[in-house]
Amino acid sequence: ATGHLHVKEAAAVVQGIAEGCKQANCGLIGGESAEMPSMYDSGKYDLAGFSVGAVRRDQILPKGVAVGDILLGLPSSGLHSNGFSLVRKLVEKEGLSFESNCPWDETQIIGESLLTPTKIYVKSCLPLIKKGLVKGLAHITGGGLLENLPRSLPYGVGAKITSHPALSGVFKWLKTTSGMDDKEMLRTFNCGVGMVLIVGASELAEAKDELKKSSIETVYEMGALADGSGVTMEVSLD
């Protein structure tokens, strides 16, 4: 929806949606636009969408998650659209604008860096799911690792994180500028891990091999499941 439809901008939006569909191997089967000049200022628009899939009832995940299973993390491409209310406040607090050079990357401006497209993991994860190598998945979105991972765990089972990738430049800047501790960072941002896979210890090597075949160059072995609940961090964010 927008105040006035600009064909060039609309075409760019549709092009981006089409690219997302290619990455997810899905079809774009519908859509509509609305011009609402009394609701939107000039140059402003918003966008909403959703995807629908199908799965056999006996294949719904999580399935068979148990103590001893291994946690594999897949890298994020950036903020993945989460925590932007805080990000905007921090940019303003530091006297910067979205056209300013990045404090964490001199080759980019802030707006370009923050809008790095969210990584889509379908082509990486679906082959493993079809082979029965994945017991559960946690997409690290709003709420971060601490709130999303427990949703895939049964009662009485918790996650112990014994390894976490080093924070990239943007997350280091956000941590330093905000003054947040590790817990709040992990509850607000993905901190470099966009997806967590739960795999059995006996399937670990095969799962890693399949991920590398799908062009995932880096796989983080982050820890394991243990008796308990929630997520226990046994390492600090660097």
H-helix segments, 54-109: 84-93
- In three-state secondary structure terms, 165 is coil
Cβ atoms of residues 46 and 57 within 8 Å = no
Long-range contacts of 98-102 (CB under 8 A, 24+ apart): 102/169, 102/170
Query: 10-61 pLDDT, tens per residue?
Result: 999 999 999 999 999 999 998 888 999 999 998 888 999 889 999 999 999 9
How far apart CA 142 and CA 235 sit, in angstroms, is: 21
Query: 69-110 pLDDT, tens per residue?
Result: 999 999 999 999 899 999 999 999 999 999 999 999 999 999
> For a pLDDT cut of 90, what percent of the chain falls above it?
88
Cα 69 to Cα 74, 132, 135, 152, 200, distances in angstroms: 16, 14, 9, 12, 5
Average pLDDT over residues 154-183: 97
**Looking at 4-8, 71-75, 128-132, 214-218, which range is the least confident one?**
214-218
How far apart CA 192 and CA 171 sit, in angstroms, is: 8
Q: Which two tokens stand for residue 23?
A: 């990455």
H-helix segments, the chain: 7-24, 84-93, 110-114, 122-130, 144-148, 169-178, 182-188, 204-213
Do the bridges between strand 231-233 and strand 157-161 make them parallel or antiparallel, or are there none, so unpaired? Answer: parallel
81 sits in the region (left: phi over 0; alpha: psi -120 to 50; else beta) called left
pTM, whole model, 2 decimals? 0.93
